[in-house]
């Protein structure tokens, strides 16, 4: 479904992403792992058009989406959540998700119909699914960090995507929130049949929910394969553990 080949981007000569490759099949859950600064977020930014690549190609369902604007990428059916909480601060939880739905339905040019009567059911359904229905009318700035991370995902779901990119969905969450969030991701896959690409530092989560794993180090792809392949790959161990010969985990 998503095919990334030799993608590169440098900032002032620093190669943040250097010939990264990645492939995701429909219905799969793929994790991207790597040490801090490996270029995971940059890779996601390149795929979603937030920044433009210097070289390489991104194919989505056979279409070339390299260098498109984020809103164009979104309209192709790719949604994402952000690592650093990136919600609409002054708007209520409900409005946060609703605007995403309105945008998908191409209603943002509608100047005169009151928005308060639109897409209510769908918004409430998403909030119900992710477990935010109780805080529906709170301003999103008043939420806890964990709730805001979930709101991140809810906004992404408002776009009714086929392909969901989650950038460290559980970062900064409490253990209970993390458990709930993992449950949510599993549910998204099973109930909605979403294809999910995510990155995460917690190896336990990575191994428990992903079908395949891609490992990035210093901007390049080291390996992409099943959990087994990755666990015993020598290069991965070098990168993570400084070359010890025990299996990862």
Contact set with another protein (CB under 8 A): 48, 50, 69-71, 74-75, 79-80, 82, 86-91, 95, 98-100, 102-104, 107-116, 118, 155-156, 158-159
Q: Tell me the closest approach of the beta carbon of residue 167 to another protein, in angstroms.
A: 11
Q: How far is CA 108 from the centre of its chain?
A: 24
Rounded CA separation 96/91 (Å): 6
Q: How far is the CB of 217 from another protein (least distance, A)?
A: 27
Cα Rg of the chain, angstroms = 18
Output the smallest distance, CB 221 to another protein, in A: 24
Question: Using CA atoms, how far apart are residues 227 and 69, in angstroms rounded to an integer?
Answer: 33
Residue 37 CB, nearest distance to another protein (Å)? 21
Find the shortest distance in angstroms from Cβ 79 to another protein.
Answer: 7
In the bound state with another protein, the residue whose beta carbon lies nearer, of 111 and 249, is: 111
Closest CB to another protein among 136 and 186?
Answer: 136
Quick check: 162 and 194 in contact, CB under 8 A? yes
Least distance in angstroms from the C-beta of 209 to another protein: 23
Q: In terms of CB distance, is 36 or 113 closer to another protein?
A: 113
Helix (H) and strand (E) counts in the chain = 9, 10
What gap in Å lies between CA 38 and CA 35, rounded to an integer?
A: 6
Is the CB of 81 or the CB of 237 nearer to another protein? 81
Q: What is the DSSP string of 192-235?
A: H--EEEEE-S-HHHHHHH-SEEEEEETTEEEEEEEHHHHHT-HH
Would you say 167 and 78 are in contact if contact means Cβ atoms under 8 Å apart? no
From residue 125, alpha-carbon distances to 92, 136, 169, 249 in Å are: 16, 11, 21, 38
Helices 120-130 and 145-158: crossing angle in degrees, nearest 10, is 140
Q: Which is nearer to another protein, 5 or 103 (CB)?
A: 103
């Amino acid at each position: 479904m998503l095919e990334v080949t030799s993608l590169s981007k440098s900032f002032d000569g620093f190669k943040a992403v250097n010939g990264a490759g990645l492939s995701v099949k429909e219905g799969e859950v793929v994790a991207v792992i790597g040490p801090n600064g490996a270029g995971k977020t940059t890779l996601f930014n390149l795929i979603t058009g937030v920044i433009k690549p210097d070289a390489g190609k991104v194919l989505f369902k056979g279409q070339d989406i390299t260098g498109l604007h984020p809103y164009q990428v979104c309209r192709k059916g790719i949604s994402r959540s952000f690592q650093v909480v990136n919600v609409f601060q002054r708007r209520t939880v409900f409005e946060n998700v609703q605007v995403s739905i309105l945008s998908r339905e191409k209603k943002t040019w509608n100047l005169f119909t009151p928005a308060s009567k639109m897409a209510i059911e769908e918004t409430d359904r998403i909030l119900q699914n992710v477990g935010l229905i109780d805080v529906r009318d709170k301003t999103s700035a008043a939420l806890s960090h964990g709730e805001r991370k979930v709101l991140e995902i809810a906004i992404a779901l408002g776009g009714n995507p086929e392909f969901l990119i989650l950038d460290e969905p559980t970062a900064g969450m409490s253990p209970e929130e993390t458990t709930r969030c993992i449950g949510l991701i599993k549910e998204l896959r099973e109930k909605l049949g979403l294809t999910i690409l995510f990155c995460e530092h917690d190896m336990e989560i990575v191994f428990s929910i992903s079908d395949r794993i891609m490992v990035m180090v210093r901007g390049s792809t080291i390996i992409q394969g099943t959990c087994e392949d990755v666990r015993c790959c020598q290069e991965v161990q070098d990168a993570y553990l400084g070359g010890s010969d025990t299996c990862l985990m």
